[in-house]
Amino acid sequence: MNFNLTEERQMLQDTLRRYLREQYGTERRSKILESETGFSADIWTELAELGVLGALFTEDQGGFGGAGFDISVVFEELGRAGVVEPVLDSALLGGRLLAAAGKSDLVEQVIGGALHLAVAHGEPDSRYDLDHVNTTASDGKLTGRKAVVMNAEAADHLIVSAKNGDSIALYLVDKGATGLDIQGYPLLAGGRAAEVTLDNTPGEPLGLTLADYEAANRLALIAQCAEALGAMETATALTKDYLMTRQQFGRPIGTFQALAHRMSDLLIELEQARSAVINAAGYADDKDADLHLSASKNLIGRIGRLVAEEAIQMHGGIAMTQEYELAHIAKRIVMADHRFGDTDYHLERFIALSAA
C-alpha cells in the first residue's frame, strides 16, 4: 500500500501548480471569461509545452502517462486554479477517442496543442444517458442534433456519435463539412458550448462503438471528479482564510463556534472527496470500474454542493460578487454535477451495478 505519487507525477503536479499560480490568477481568468473564444490560445500552447496534454496519453499513444492517476493529478490542479480551457473535452475525451481509433497523427497534434476537438454525443433529450442517440448515419452521412457540445466552435474536428442501423458508431466530422451548423453560447462556469445540427453531413467512420465511448467516458469521469476536488480545495482554503481575517462583533468570525464547527465539517468532507478521487483513479481498470466511478461521482456531487454552498454562506455577501475568486470556483464545483451524469444518475447506476 502506498498513497504517494510517483516521482514523475509529483513533478507534474508541482510544475503545473506553480505555473497556474503564477499565470492563472483571478484577473487573467476574468479576461479569458469575457473573451469571444472563451479560452486563451496562449495558455493552451503553454499547457502543451509543459507536457500537461501529453500526460493524458499513454506511451503507446505518443504521450507519457495516460493512467488514472496521471489524469487525476492534472485535473486536480486545473480545478484548483479554476481553469476554463477545454482540456477535458478537447484533449482528454476527444484525444483518447482518436487514440482508440488509431489516429496517431491527429493525436500527436492534440498533444502538441495544435489541434482542437469536440465530442458531440449528448442530444436534447438524452440527459445523461449514454445509449440515447437519435442522430442517424447512412452511407457516411450524418443527420441529427447534438446538445451542449463543449468547445464546438473552436474544434478543428468533431467526433459525432450516430446510429448506424441498430448500433451506435463514432464519426469524424470536419469543421467545414457541409450541412454542419454550430450555434455557440457561453457557459455559466466559463468556456463555451454549442447546439450542433447535422444535415446529411459527411463523417468518416472511426471504427469505434458505444463501448469505446464508454471507455473514454470513464476517463472523463475521473477527470471531472478530480477537477471538482481541486476546486473544493480552493473553496475551503479561501473560506478558512476569510474566517480568520474577517472581523465582526470585534473578533474574527472563525472564532464563533457555529462557524468553526462547520469549517471542520468541510475539512472532513474534503478528505472524503480526496479518497473518492483516489478510488476513481485507482480502480479505473478494475472489473468493477463503473461501480467505483459512480460511487465517486455521486459523492463528489453531494460534497461539492455542500462545499460550494457552505463556502459562500460562511463568507457572506462578498462571495456573491462576480469579481471574488470563490464565485467562479463555486460555479465550477456545482456545474461539475451537470456533466457525465449527476448525483442522482450515479446513485441509480450504483444501485443497479451493486444489484448485478
Partner 1 sequence: MDLSYSPEEQAFQTEVRQFLADELPKEIAEKVRLDQDLTKDDMERWHAILNTRGWLAQNWPASFGGAEWSAVQRHIYDTEAAAAHAPRIVPFGFSMLGPVLQKFGSKEQQDYWLPRMLDGTDWWCQGYSEPGAGSDLASLKTKAVRDGDHYIVNGQKTWTTLGQFANMIFCLVRTDPDAKQQEGISFILIDMDTPGVEVRPIILLDGTHEVNEVWFTDVKVPVENLVGEENKGWTYAKYLLTHERTGLGGVGSSEAGLKAVKRIAKAANHNGKPLLENPHFAARVAQVEIDLRAMATTNLRIISKAAAGEAPGLEASMLKVKGSILRQEINDLARRAVGPYAMPFASEAVEGANDRIPDPLDAGPVAGQYFNNRKLSIFGGSNEIQRGIIAKVTMSGGA
Determine, following the binding rule CB under 8 A, whether residue 342 of this chain makes contact with partner 1. yes
Sole window of 52-60, 73-81, 166-174, 341-349 interacting with partner 1 (rule: CB under 8 A): 341-349
Q: Between residue 319 and residue 338, which ones bind partner 1 under the rule CB under 8 A?
A: 319-323, 327-328, 330-331, 334-335, 337-338
**Cα–Cα distance, 286 to 293 (Å, whole number):** 10
Least CB distance to partner 1 at residue 217 (A): 14
The smaller minimum CB distance to partner 1, of residues 157 and 192, is found at 192
Q: Between residue 91 and residue 130, which ones bind partner 1 under the rule CB under 8 A?
A: 122, 124-129
Binding residue for partner 1, selected from 27, 139, 166, 248, defined by CB under 8 A: 248
Sole window of 92-100, 209-217, 278-286, 312-320 interacting with partner 1 (rule: CB under 8 A): 312-320
Any idea how long the chain is? Answer: 356
The smaller minimum CB distance to partner 1, of residues 175 and 246, is found at 246
**Cα–Cα distance, 236 to 245 (Å, whole number):** 14
Give the bridge partners for 9, in sequence order: none
**Cα–Cα distance, 259 to 189 (Å, whole number):** 27
Binding residue for partner 1, selected from 84, 193, 210, 226, defined by CB under 8 A: 193
Least CB distance to partner 1 at residue 85 (A): 16
**Cα–Cα distance, 248 to 177 (Å, whole number):** 60
Collapse the DSSP code of 179 into the 3-class scheme (helix H, G, I; strand E, B; otherwise coil) and give the result.
Answer: coil
Residue 5 DSSP code: P
Q: How many residues bind partner 1 (CB under 8 A)?
A: 49
**Cα–Cα distance, 123 to 180 (Å, whole number):** 15
**Cα–Cα distance, 328 to 37 (Å, whole number):** 18
Q: Cα dist. 312→247, 249, 254, 308, 315 in Å?
A: 17, 20, 14, 6, 5
CA 56, 62, 67, 70 torsion-angle sign:
negative
- Residues 42, 320, 148, CA angle at the centre, nearest 5°? 50
Q: Cα dist. 58→54, 96, 98, 305 in Å?
A: 8, 10, 13, 33
Q: How many CA atoms lie within 13 A of 115 on its CB side?
A: 21
The smaller minimum CB distance to partner 1, of residues 126 and 136, is found at 126
Binding residue for partner 1, selected from 5, 50, 187, 353, defined by CB under 8 A: 187
Binding residue for partner 1, selected from 1, 211, 258, 355, defined by CB under 8 A: 258
Binding residue for partner 1, selected from 31, 176, 249, 287, defined by CB under 8 A: 249
The smaller minimum CB distance to partner 1, of residues 7 and 317, is found at 317
Determine, following the binding rule CB under 8 A, whether residue 37 of this chain makes contact with partner 1. no
The smaller minimum CB distance to partner 1, of residues 208 and 306, is found at 306
Interface mask toward partner 1 for 135-164; x: CB under 8 A: ------------xx----------------
The smaller minimum CB distance to partner 1, of residues 73 and 253, is found at 253
Query: Which is nearest to 72 in space by CA: 232, 278, 332, 215?
Result: 278
Determine, following the binding rule CB under 8 A, whether residue 348 of this chain makes contact with partner 1. yes
**Cα–Cα distance, 142 to 19 (Å, whole number):** 42
Residues that bind partner 1 (CB under 8 A): 34, 122, 124-129, 147-148, 183, 185-189, 193, 195, 247-249, 256, 258-259, 305, 309, 312-313, 316-317, 319-323, 327-328, 330-331, 334-335, 337-339, 342-344, 347-348
